[in-house]
A and B are shown apart, each in its own frame.
Chain A
Amino acid sequence: MKPVIFGTATLAAAAAIGLYTWQTTTTPNPCGSTSVAGSAIGGPFELVSENGETVTDADVITKPTLVYFGYTFCPDVCPLDSARNAQAAYLLEEQGIDIGTIFISVDPERDTVEVVRDFTENFHEDMIGLTGTPEQVRAASLAYKTYYRVQEGDPEYYLVDHSTQTYLVFPETGFATFFRRDTTPEQIAEITACFMGELT
């Protein structure tokens, strides 16, 4: 059975409006990116790790972390964005700054533990790949206010529409900011380092 993932037009519209709202109510912050005023993004989740273990956000977000939602069947956008996030981590590593990178699958039907592990190792040896039950994935996506929807049609080669923003999340304080997909690795590294200076 194909996962049914908040597939109603109403919810899709709500998600789009939500995204629009935070993009227009954002306020400048010292790190030169945008911070989101008064919206609760992020929070607890329970997913399945690359080792097949059930993990919580506290288990996997143990340092400032870039969090991205995607699916591995996508040969194009998700690898680009994941590679970009990995590259930001490598840039920071060169400066002696340690951050984490997480890829959360929104296609748990096809993205098994093994598939997600292979996918993430391809970009960064420490990138954490998470999948889960359809319910776990839906809950995590809702917490982060991301949108995804399985396109109708093919049972095997179906495509998934999904949000492409990457979140910067801190273990103690949670969500700090988000990056659109046209943000460069250098910009992400710079803004992340700035937030780490501010928040830690």
Chain B
Amino acid sequence: MKMNTKTLVIAALLASLSATAQAESTLTIENPKAFATPATAMSGGGFMQITNTGPTDDALIGIQADFPRVELHTTEFTDGVARMMHVDDIAIPAGETVALEPGGLHIMFMGLNGDPLEEGETIPATLIFKNAGEIAVTFDVVKRDMAHSH
């Protein structure tokens, strides 16, 4: 899951090639990012905005990345109790932008196993959509911004 500069460049080239290949797609993925984690963290969260500019509803139905387990999750709050749960799909309605953001929908990277997410790293992943199929994305690992933590 970690990449050095050389592989990063190759990944960027691959990503741009894949973006070209997806030119007909009506989905735009913006700002895929994950927060850096402590050394012993067991999981990390991934976030992004997905915009559907086409006339047809779509749905994010899965994600592949190099972790023991990766899932689509959401968090619900009831009377101050947070309940995080796995979801099978995330609807991306036509003409709308769906944000995966802290406190709500997110990608859950699980089983870091001593290899934390470190600032500056990138996480290559493949998003799987019901209609658009597979779209490659690269999550940037960023430091949690303490000034905008709410």
Q: Can you list 18 A-B contacts (CB < 8 A)?
A: A74-B43, A76-B75, A77-B82, A77-B102, A80-B102, A83-B144, A84-B150, A87-B147, A87-B149, A119-B38, A119-B41, A122-B37, A157-B110, A157-B111, A159-B83, A161-B81, A162-B81, A165-B80
List the B side residues contacting A72 at CB < 8 Å.
38, 41-42
Interface centre among A75, A83, A185 (most CB of B within 10 A): A75
* Minimal beta-carbon separation of A10 from chain B (angstroms): 16
Number of A-B contacts (CB under 8 A): 104
* Minimal beta-carbon separation of B73 from chain A (angstroms): 8
The yes or no answer to B146 lying at the interface (CB within 8 A) is yes
The yes or no answer to A135 lying at the interface (CB within 8 A) is no
Indicate with 1 or 0, residue by residue over B74-97, a CB within 8 angstroms of chain A CB atoms: 010111111111000000000000
Q: Are A87 and B146 in contact (CB under 8 A)?
A: yes
Q: Are B106 and A162 in contact (CB under 8 A)?
A: no
Stretch of A30-38, A94-102, A110-118, A136-144 that contacts chain B: A110-118
Taking residues whose C-beta sits less than 8 angstroms from the other chain, chain B's interface range is: 20 to 34
* Minimal beta-carbon separation of A60 from chain B (angstroms): 20
Nearest A-chain residue to B106, judged by Cβ = A76
List the A side residues contacting B39 at CB < 8 Å.
118
List the A side residues contacting B38 at CB < 8 Å.
72, 115, 118-119, 121-122
- Chain A contact residues, CB within 8 Å of chain B: 16, 19-20, 72-77, 79-80, 83-84, 86-87, 90, 110, 112, 114-115, 118-119, 121-123, 147, 151, 156-157, 159, 161-165, 180-182, 184-185
The yes or no answer to B62 lying at the interface (CB within 8 A) is no
List the B side residues contacting A185 at CB < 8 Å.
149-150
Q: Are A182 and B150 in contact (CB under 8 A)?
A: yes
**Whole-angstrom distance between the alpha carbons of A151 and B116 in the complex?**
24
Indicate with 1 or 0, residue by residue over B25-57, a CB within 8 angstroms of chain A CB atoms: 000000000010111111111000000000000
**Whole-angstrom distance between the alpha carbons of A123 and B145 in the complex?**
11
**Whole-angstrom distance between the alpha carbons of A87 and B147 in the complex?**
8
* Minimal beta-carbon separation of A183 from chain B (angstroms): 8
Q: Which one of B103, B109, B111 contacts A77 once the chains associate, using CB atoms below 8 Å?
A: B103
